[in-house]
Structure 1
């Protein structure tokens, strides 16, 4: 983000104390969501983590309902195949363990609460676009994470670095992989926020569903993870449920926008 702001590729937002305070909560949930996702990736197959993460709409509906939002019956019905599909995928997953499962579930909770409180706490900062909002959430998240990482794992960094170099073979390869991982992760989020500004919610939801399919299939091909037929069926049902949820909620959003225009 500093690179984009420095070279005027992205307008730098005006920062104020209320703006930073409003981001403290969303950034904390973002940190929790990202750490737990990485923990899950380290414990189970990447494809399985993404299947479980496709259940994020379930948490979104439940937490939003507790906070006062209401959803039509078809939205609630759309989360049933998500729950069933994820459950079927979990009980048939070859690499299954509870640490990986709980990591993915906690990640869902963290990112859902980040999204909910981002909308609720930033109503007064609508002039900040999505990319700048995500950039500052990431920066504050770094400030949260760095001292914790030093305290919890600081004594293991040297040993871990040496093992990584031994496994990969060359220090330069290790650095390139770490840098590319960070760059691609940021570009993925950047493109998502920019796409949401340019296309309809329905089109975005379809693309987001296809993203899950591409990621899961790609990780299976790259890492050669064994997939049982019932596991593949459960994954497909969960992703299909995510698509149904996306359609149901996008229609709800369109209707809400039309009602606001009429008012």
Structure 2
């Protein structure tokens, strides 16, 4: 939920892309809404919390670096399109992750290959998941081209609220008051974030 805050800090102080004060004030509302919506799920280890924070930092860096690539003269022309840029960064990410995968899970590689060959459900779900995830992230990169790293992070955070509501509806779970309140605050915060600069200018 804190990804927009990390993105805003990096954008403001590292990448020299100022975020308006009005939008800064919207971030706690959005983050707070997501926290309220998931407050019943707060069963975690400190290692998980630290890992999530680290993931937020890397996500913020990725967003800002992708935006930087899109604006770099000469390089953006050679990349050709947002789709090409996302494809190249995905390939690089895959290649960089191979040593870590082999280090942590290399001993299970044979077992995985055998399971992939013999269990259709695993194979089909894995391929479908990969395609959906790739498509979602490419769309996210396209969104980044039209906005900025902080706005993309805000949209990504809003997605969590939508997922909470969607999963509850699909699985028939009850939406208690706190969850509904958090969802409302989160979605309202995102809407406010999207229009706040225009509202301030009018004043």
Give TM-score scaled by structure 2 length: 0.72
User: Matches of 2:42 and 2:172 in 1, distance apart?
Assistant: 12
User: Matches of 1:160 and 1:222 in 2, distance apart?
Assistant: 31
Contact 2:3 2:57 in 1 (8 A): yes
Q: 1:161 to 1:214 in 2, by over 3 A?
A: farther
Displacement of 1:135? 0.4
User: Matches of 1:154 and 1:225 in 2, distance apart?
Assistant: 39
Q: 1:129 to 1:155 in 2, by over 3 A?
A: same
Displacement of 1:102? 3.8
User: Matches of 1:97 and 1:226 in 2, distance apart?
Assistant: 22
**Aligned counterpart, 2:83:** 131
User: Matches of 1:207 and 1:72 in 2, distance apart?
Assistant: 17
Contact 1:85 1:233 in 2 (8 A): yes
Displacement of 1:157? 4.2
The alignment covers a number of residue pairs equal to 189
CA RMSD of aligned residues (A): 3.6
User: Matches of 1:187 and 1:218 in 2, distance apart?
Assistant: 19
**Aligned counterpart, 1:141:** 93
**Which stretch of the first structure deviates more once superposed, 171-180 or 212-221?**
212-221
Displacement of 1:88? 3.1
Is the counterpart of residue 152 in structure 1 residue 99 in structure 2? Answer: no
Displacement of 1:191? 3.7
User: Matches of 1:80 and 1:207 in 2, distance apart?
Assistant: 14
Residue of 176, 181, 186 corresponding to 1:238: 186
- Matches of residues 89-108 of structure 1 in structure 2 within 5 Å? 89=37, 92-94=39-41, 96-98=43-45, 99-108=47-56
Deviations along 1:237-260, one digit per CA (max 9) or x if unpaired, are 2333233223347x6xxx9xxxxx
Contact 2:155 2:190 in 1 (8 A): no
Displacement of 1:147? 1.6
Displacement of 1:189? 2.6
Give TM-score scaled by structure 1 length: 0.58
Displacement of 1:192? 4.1
User: Matches of 1:207 and 1:152 in 2, distance apart?
Assistant: 32
Contact 1:83 1:238 in 2 (8 A): yes
Mind listing any 5+ residue stretches in structure 1 that lack a counterpart? 1-51, 256-263
